[in-house]
């Protein structure tokens, strides 16, 4: 069976933890989109890890990790990550890299940084991992596909063509050093050496695995609201964050995705710019940020403080709907245990009217949150393993959210560890 694990919100919902947990029963874990720009934090028997490119299932020796064709493959980052986990005692993972994945080049990162610099105060808050330039090139058909590393004639011709085009921008728009096709060729040769042992037709591999009845997890990066089509465009990422894209970015039939586990966080956080209706500021935000996640809400890639907010039913309902949710995993609920009262955003007031449907960006920017305040439970719920044992007000919070978003919360995560989970 194929299951997708995806985010309902702006990312950082705890997909890594849920994937790591579900990977115990899985055979194959596939990354199908995104690149090294966002990270997953995972805490398990080996310690605490921040992964950017490897799927969250790499810590088990029974799983195979697949980097799907939809991923922005940063080969040096991938290898650094493999080395880091091995150095810390994790057995060498079984890794397969799609021959149709495309490669993040060093110039993609440079272009990312140059563009942020050019935009100055109007920048997107990119992590400068090269993701937007990478996907632009992919769709402009000037990207390098892993398979092309094995066609020397093609490479030699293509590096010249690509450099020609890039150098116009480097010279005239950015006034930066130009690319030398020879250097690009050398860079690609380095990547070839590194990636060669892992390359295969991963879609064919998954096709066989489905036939054999293997358990496959598709692991999403970021969340619905960062999707380029259905998110807060243009403050989005450059590849689709939706479960539906799992079919494309992994190369499996859409009808094989039987479960969509949408990870939804019990409060809100976001990185980067863009409308964030239930955002909070000052001491209130600082306290939630400090207590949030595991050791505070700071970016796994950049260490940047995340923007904080109360739970947003409008955004989360939409986030779950666009994913095609079958199950909601409601995470980091334990963090809210310090609050006397917990505001929840239940509607947006836009130009004098209240709506519970998530609007496009130009209206979102005008939205004022409508809050309902629920009583807190004022205790630590970590360690609780059954739903019945949760404090009454905590159950009320879960059930209130479930009713507002309209999708079943079948898992409640009450701590960062693998076992901190309550099934309903």
List residues forming the annotated binding site for Mg(2+). Answer: 12, 39
Site string for ligand GDP, 287-326 (x = CB under 6 A): ------xx-----x--------------------------
Q: Are 74 and 135 in contact (CB under 8 A)?
A: no
DSSP 344-412: EEEEEEETTEEESSPPPHHHHTT-EEEEEEEE---S--TT--SGGGS-HHHHHHHHHHHHHHTS-EEEE
With respect to ligand GDP, which residue has the nearer C-beta, 102 or 331?
331
User: Cα separation of 195 and 197, whole Å?
Assistant: 6
Strand 421-423 with 257-265, pairing: unpaired
Under rule CB under 6 A, residue 331 binds ligand GDP: yes
| Positions in 40-99 near ligand GDP (CB under 6 A) | 40-41, 43
SS3 15: helix
Looking up tokens 């690149």, which residue turns up? 35
13 lies in the binding site for ligand GDP (CB under 6 A): yes
Nearer to ligand GDP, 85 or 163 (CB): 85
Q: By CB under 6 A, is residue 130 in contact with ligand GDP?
A: no
Q: Which is nearer to ligand GDP, 41 or 98 (CB)?
A: 41
Q: Is the sign of the CA dihedral 281, 50, 246, 13 positive or negative?
A: negative
Q: What would the DSSP string read from start to end of 302-330? A: T-PBPEEE-EEHHHHHHHHHHHT-SEEEE
Enumerate the β-bridge partners of residue 335. none
The 8-class DSSP code of residue 145 comes to B
> By CB under 6 A, is residue 415 in contact with ligand GDP?
yes
To ligand GDP, the closest distance from the beta carbon of 261 in angstroms equals 12
Judged by CB under 6 A, does residue 237 bind ligand GDP? no
The residue among 7 and 143 lying less far from ligand GDP, judged by its C-beta, is 7
Closer CB to ligand GDP, 159 or 232, in the complex: 232
CB of 324 closer than 8 Å to CB of 243: yes
* DSSP class of 70: T
Q: How far is the CB of 375 from ligand GDP (least distance, A)?
A: 21
Give the active site residue among 20, 40, 230, 420.
Answer: 40
Other CB atoms within a 10 A radius of the CB of residue 331 amount to 29
Tokens 């403080």 identify what position? Answer: 305
> Residue 263, SS3?
strand
Binding part of the chain for ligand GDP, among 9-17, 83-91, 143-151, 251-259 by CB under 6 A, reads 9-17
CB nearer to ligand GDP: pick between 43 and 401 = 43
CA atoms within 13 A on the CB side of 193: 6
Distance from chain centroid for Cα 13: 9
Q: Which residues are annotated as a binding site?
A: 11-17, 37-41, 127, 141, 237, 300-306, 332-334, 413-415
Length of the chain as a residue count: 424
Quick check: 398 binds ligand GDP (CB under 6 A)? no
The verdict on 12 binding ligand GDP (CB under 6 A) reads yes
Concerning whether 172 is annotated as a catalytic residue, the answer is no
Least Cα distance to 58 among 198, 191, 194 occurs for 198
Among 12, 20, 74, 294, the one annotated catalytic: 12
Min dist CB 381 to ligand GDP, Å, is 10
Known binding-site residue numbers for substrate: 300-306
Active site residue 40: yes
Pattern of binders to ligand GDP over 332-361, x per CB under 6 A? x-xx--------------------------
Binding region for ligand GDP (CB under 6 A) out of 33-41, 197-205, 233-241, 311-319:
33-41
The region of 134-142, 151-159, 341-349, 408-416 touching ligand GDP under the rule CB under 6 A is 408-416
Counting contacts by CB under 6 A, is residue 11 touching ligand GDP?
Answer: yes
Q: How far apart are CA 310 and CA 295, in angstroms?
A: 19
| DSSP H helical ranges for 32-178 | 75-87, 106-119, 131-139, 152-168
Segment near ligand GDP (CB under 6 A), from 86-94, 153-161, 199-207, 407-415? Answer: 407-415
Q: Toward ligand GDP, which CB reaches closer, 262 or 326?
A: 262
20 near ligand GDP, rule: CB under 6 A: no
Q: How far is the CB of 152 from ligand GDP (least distance, A)?
A: 38
DSSP state, residue 42: E
Report the alpha-carbon distance of residue 11 to residue 381 in Å, rounded.
24
Active site amino acids: 12, 40
Residue ranges in contact with ligand GDP by CB under 6 A: 7, 11-17, 38-41, 43, 293-294, 300, 331-332, 334-335, 413-416, 420
């Amino acid at each position: 069976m194929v299951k997708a694990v995806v985010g309902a919100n702006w990312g950082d919902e705890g997909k890594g933890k849920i994937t790591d947990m579900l990977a115990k029963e899985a055979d194959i874990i596939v990354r199908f989109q995104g690149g090294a720009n966002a990270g997953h934090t995972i805490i398990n028997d080996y310690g605490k890890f921040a992964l950017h490119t490897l799927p969250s299932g790499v810590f088990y020796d029974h799983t195979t990790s697949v980097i799907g064709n939809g991923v922005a493959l940063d080969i040096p980052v991938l290898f650094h990550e493999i080395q880091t986990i091995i150095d810390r005692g994790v057995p060498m993972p079984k890794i397969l890299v799609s021959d149709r994945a495309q490669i993040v080049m060093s110039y993609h990162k440079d272009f990312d940084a140059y563009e942020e610099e050019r935009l100055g105060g109007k920048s997107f808050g990119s992590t400068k991992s090269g993701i937007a330039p990478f996907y632009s090139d992919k769709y402009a058909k000037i990207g390098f596909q892993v398979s092309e590393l094995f066609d020397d004639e093609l490479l030699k011709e293509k590096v010249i063509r690509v450099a020609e085009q890039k150098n116009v921008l480097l010279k005239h728009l950015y006034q930066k050093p130009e690319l030398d096709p020879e250097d690009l060729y050398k860079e690609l040769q380095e990547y070839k050496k590194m990636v060669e042992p892992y390359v295969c037709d991963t879609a064919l591999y998954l096709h066989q695995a489905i036939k054999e009845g293997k358990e496959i997890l598709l692991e999403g990066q970021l969340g619905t609201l960062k999707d380029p089509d259905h998110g807060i465009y243009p403050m989005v990422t450059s590849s689709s964050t939706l479960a539906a894209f799992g079919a494309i970015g992994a190369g499996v039939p859409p009808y094989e995705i039987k479960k969509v586990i949408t990870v939804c966080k019990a409060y809100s956080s976001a990185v980067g710019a863009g409308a964030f209706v239930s955002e909070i500021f000052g001491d209130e935000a600082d306290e939630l940020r400090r207590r949030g996640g595991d050791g505070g809400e700071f970016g796994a890639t950049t260490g940047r403080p995340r923007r904080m907010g109360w739970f947003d039913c409008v955004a989360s309902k939409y986030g779950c709907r666009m994913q095609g949710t079958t199950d909601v995993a409601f995470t980091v609920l334990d963090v809210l245990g310090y609050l006397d009262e917990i505001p929840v955003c239940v509607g947006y007031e836009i130009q004098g009217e209240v709506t519970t449907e998530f609007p496009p960006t130009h209206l979102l920017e005008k939205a004022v949150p409508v809050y309902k305040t629920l009583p807190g439970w004022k205790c630590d719920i970590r360690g609780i393993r059954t739903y019945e044992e949760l404090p009454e007000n905590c159950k009320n919070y879960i059930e209130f959210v479930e009713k507002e978003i309209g999708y079943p919360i079948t898992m409640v995560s009450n701590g960062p560890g693998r076992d901190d989970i309550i099934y309903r």
